Amino acid sequence: MLAAYAAHLRAERHASPHTIRGYLADLRQFLAFAGAPGAVRPDGIRHWLRTLDGTAERASIARKLAAVRGLFRFLADQGRLAADPTLGIATPKTCRKLPAHLTLDDIDRLLATPRGDTLAGLRDRALLEVLYSSGLRVSELTGLDWERVDEEAGLLRVLGKGRKERVVPVGRPALRALAAYRARCAEAGLAVAGGPVFRNARGGRLTSRSVARSMERYVLASGTATKATPHALRHTFATHLLGAGADLRAIQELLGHASLSTTQRYTHVDLRRLMEAYDRAHPRA
């Protein structure tokens, strides 16, 4: 049953391997508690949610419920269940944290940290520049191939969530960093007409975990106070655009958000910045 659902997530929902692993772990936990799907009733699901309250973050509980909902919807659509017991089950309200982001000074220090003209140094400089310049998810960055980089037009074609393709602009500093890295790849005998842009030391595609480890090292070296992850650069990209007057709908398209409500988190970040400026500057604040 779970194998069939995993195949459905992979083929029909275009879910990432990371998402599928997380969903399957949540579902195994739920089924160990609730028993066979055919015996599950709405009251049983509510009881399960109450047992999680206080032991897991609200966001984690909401994610676990989403996994359970997906399984039962799949089973009902397949005719394996007469009814979906998750219908009418309310999703726990979550407290959305403001996205972490870096200041312009932080960004300048971080982007200047990778030094030297080694293949690894040029790769990491290009990697950081592209993340900040385009707001890509780290999975989109590691999945980027050279054939999807249009250096002349300054555009990247990326595959986002659900295998949806979008075109995003990339700035001149990032393009220069990519060109320098590409030239060094060619000197090293690595394919630059196709294949992955960002490679590890063995020539394979760089993983999201490797990107996170590299960035952690550069954040420490740069002296940046904010705990900056690859996703924090995506938040920084959006926050700086909004602060400079970019339209929220345009930012939504650039980030590849399916819903504008997801992008609207950045209005709260900018509002906080404005309130801090008001408190500092206004004589009657």
Q: How many Å apart are CA 264 and CA 139, to the nearest integer?
A: 22
Bridge partners, 149 (sequence order): 156
Please report, as a single letter, which amino acid is at residue 187.
E
C-alpha distances in angstroms, 43 versus 39, 114, 152?
A: 11, 55, 59
C-alpha distances in angstroms, 222 versus 98, 124, 177?
A: 23, 14, 19
Provide the annotated active-site residues. 137, 161, 231, 234, 257, 266
Q: How many Å apart are CA 42 and CA 177, to the nearest integer?
A: 55
Beta strand extents in 9-164 (DSSP E only): 149-150, 155-159
Strand, helix or coil for residue 105: helix
Which strand (E) or helix (H) includes residue 167? strand 165-169
* Selection from 98, 96, 93, 97 nearest residue 53 by Cα: 93
Yes or no: say if 14 and 55 are a contact pair by the CB < 8 Å rule: no
Joined tokens for residue 227 = 């705990």
- Residue that is written with structure tokens 């490679």 in the block: 199
Strand, helix or coil for residue 279: helix
Strand, helix or coil for residue 260: helix
Q: How many Å apart are CA 76 and CA 85, to the nearest integer?
A: 9
Strand, helix or coil for residue 22: helix
